[in-house]
Amino acid sequence: MVQIGKAEDEEKPKFASLLAGQSTNTITLEEAIKLFEFPRTIGDYEDKTVVIGIGRFGPYIRHDAKFTSIKKDDNAATINLERAIELIEAKREADKKKLIKEFSENPDIIVVKDRWGKPCIKRKGKYVRVPNGIEPENLTLEQCIDFLPAEKKSTKKTTKKKTTKKKKTATKKK
């Protein structure tokens, strides 16, 4: 991390993460100042803004409220709109290949490939693997629901708190 300002200053100090390959021991002042240019807007694509930023998992492209990682051979400081569009489109294609089946009657349940390429049933962020020997393309909505664990209902009870008056205790004198 690099920082502009001090904690004692009236204005709050600003922080920026280092890029891959940068070290606090070898970074120059010019390189450190460039880090404060993030997040930076590089243009519009499909009437939506394209932003380059550096996050917890490294440099990324944000477009249409979706995030795309920037490849290691690309530099977040110099990436242009054309390259960003290529990466956005490549991510869309990869996402399309993950989807195996959707159900129009229940869009919360879909059949997808997990990150290891195995077919899974997904509902509300939870994944259940499709059992071996079953073709995921041929699954029906009813079969998917049978494979998914039953949704738990909330067990929290709402009760009113009773107001109690504290009893005064007399202290004994010795």
Question: Averaged over 148-172, what is the pLDDT?
Answer: 64
Question: Which comes out higher in pLDDT, residue 65 or 149?
Answer: 65
Per-residue pLDDT, 41: 94
Banded model confidence at residue 33, pLDDT cuts 50, 70, 90: confident
Domain limits for position 145: 103-149
- pLDDT top residue among 2 and 19: 2
Max CA distance (Å), the chain: 88
Domains held by the chain: number? 1
Q: Is residue 110 part of a domain?
A: yes
Contact call for residues 70 and 52 (beta carbons, < 8 A): yes
Domain assignment of residue 124, yes or no: yes
Is residue 22 in some structural domain? no
- Cis peptide preceding 131, ω within 30 of 0: no
- Residue 54: inside a domain: no
Residue 125 lies in a domain: yes
In a domain, 112, yes or no: yes
Backbone angles phi, psi at 136, to 5 degrees: -65, -25
Distance CA 120, CA 79 (A): 35
pLDDT of residue 32: 86
